[in-house]
Structure 1
Amino acid sequence: MVVSVLLLGAAIQTGVSPTGHALTFGNNTFYLQTPAGAHKHSLEAVLKEEAPRTSVLFRKDDVFAVWDSRGLSVRNGNHVKTTRMPDAARSPKLFTAEQIGANDLAIRAKQRTAGATALSGAVRLDDKAYFLLRWHDVSGALWLEALFAVDLTSENPAPYLVGRLEGRSIDFDRGASPAAIEPIEARKPVSLNDSFDRLFVVSDGIAAFSKLDDGRWGLAGYDPSTREFYFKIAGANLRWLTRCGSRLTAFVEGTAHGSLILGRFDIPTGSRRYLMETRGSIRLLDREPPWLAVAHEETNVWLHDLAAGTKLLLPDSAGLARVGPGVLVWSPQRAPTFAAYYDTTRAKQLAQWNQVRTSRSGTRSFLATVSSKSP
């Protein structure tokens, strides 16, 4: 295995490296020159939080179907109707008579609301727009999630109940900023109104990843051609999930002996593959290939290239981002004094930048990089 370690050490000259790479920093931006061209990476863009989505819209001719803060609105020409589907709580398609009675009591006691709380996902398939709505009680607990559709070709378009996907939909991890190295447990939960992407199109209709009460998780889908719902088991003890394109999904599961396993799930085939195991926390750097994983293992933080089988030992309070064909690592994250550019497939440093620091004694010191290889 090839390992590269970032340490404090003696000064190393910056400038153009023997590989033809050069790394500089100014105006809160890294500038990278490679033999193939130039790249830049702004820390302002990295540290800026993405604005939450507030609406989703589908249109065909003069018919619009929109979810926003008002609820689900359907517009046909000048006619607009908005609803949060309050009748779902009393639908025999979703509940037994006893459950409907319990829902009525909870709504009257203001423990629940009849109208939907938030949107889990929305997609368009052919001429129909599908909306996966969910209901939370006053404590924030989910008590209903149901699928609705709007036929955009209808003369009188209106949302109608399709049914219920099995289990409870799983929100895809957005992570913190791509630069942040922090344990999974430290990240902020996604707000109720910032989860619009759980529903997606598959070969036989629409689907969402969902989790059952017994801890198993998988693909819950609906086939419009047969009007049937289905559930395909993917695994158990899910801790983390994110989609990486239309085909692959990365997941982290817990094991019986306390470790975490990072794997990938192929949506079209339903197959899964384990990639690595750790007793610390783990997540992907981003969703791009080749997959790079950030793992906290005891007191160290490592960046793994899962395709090449290499890893980099990262400094404390580091930031990192994919830039061009390699990875840029800098430290500290918000006010860097050191940076290095790596080819992760070989764990090889291609360029570095150091900021001169003056110690209390007046001597100058540098942050430096030492690379080593072990079999």
Structure 2
Amino acid sequence: MKTLKIVSVVGARPNFMKIAPFVRAIEDANKGNGAGIDHILVHTGQHYDDSMSKAFFDALNIPEADINLGIGSGTHAEQVGHTMIAFEKVVRQEKPDWVVVVGDVNATCACSITAKKQHVRLAHIEAGLRSGDMTMPEEVNRLVTDRLSDLLFTPDRLSGDNLRREGVAADKIRFVGNIMIDTLEAQRHKAEELRVADIVGCNRMEGQGAKADFGEQDIFSLLTLHRPSNVDDPKILGEIVDFLTDELARDMPLLWTVHPRTEKQLKAFGLWDKVVAARNVVTLRPLGYHQLLRLNMGAALVLTDSGGLQEECCVLGTPCLTLRWNTERPVTLREQGGASVLVGNDVRRIREACREMLERGRVPSRPELWDGKTAPRIVEVIVEAGGI
């Protein structure tokens, strides 16, 4: 049997949870039916915190990357340009049959362009997601990657509809389900073993004063916030902070895992002291995958501008307020049977939705093929396609 060579690419933290099940599925295919796949994992290093990258690789049992390009941080153009230059050398040397990219980070776009320039077949995992918002760099990355891809693996039927409307040939589209849920199902038991109080105790940020200890049975809400639309305008961020500290935190503890970008802006706008002084607001350092998943499992309410958390909330049933005006994951919304409501950064809408969602409570929903078996389906399709 001819060996099939696949180069897969990760670039930043959102990719790690998506590549882990793909790597395992390749290993299983090679062991189980002798698929003969030669797999090379490339980490572009777009996520510039090497220690955090390593922590995620270890936690998700991802083997060490075969090649690390060490691109680091920079502007969008710098990251894309440097990645293309470095990845071109990899493609020329390895001569893969397929390049597989995941998600929508800059590395996804850069490596897609490079693969096609080198006449290598391209597969995109998590294809067809559309927010309709061209101010989002991720939307540009999605559009470019999907236009170039030879195989487009969609997480839901709405994504396939998007691609067909854009003129993508039907034989390129494969509805396989959501690979993020593969990771959730594989790692759920590890998360369940963690204690919320321990996570809080080990990850509290300094300078919060003598706040009461967080009890294991406490009802709490969970917040993640990082997008420029929410944190780069002092008026918008100030109104959000006022609502969180003066209203939401009056009713229950708020666990806020603080993104470095958000911390920087809170301090720049003079809002940091109010956050850390708020009696019922507990600020936490960025968490590992299992820790954040455990908090999601236990939260009465999640407020987030993260797409990945939207998906987790859908399956777990956690009431979710998505702090965005649009989403590339509409299958997670209440009107599609999910657990999320779009509220943007309008405090009035956030307030109203908080009351409604807390009264509704936890209602799990599992979209079609979000069954934890997406990665094997993807590998099967690529093996059938071969190197032709």
Larger Rg: 1
TM-score (norm 1): 0.23
Higher strand share: 1
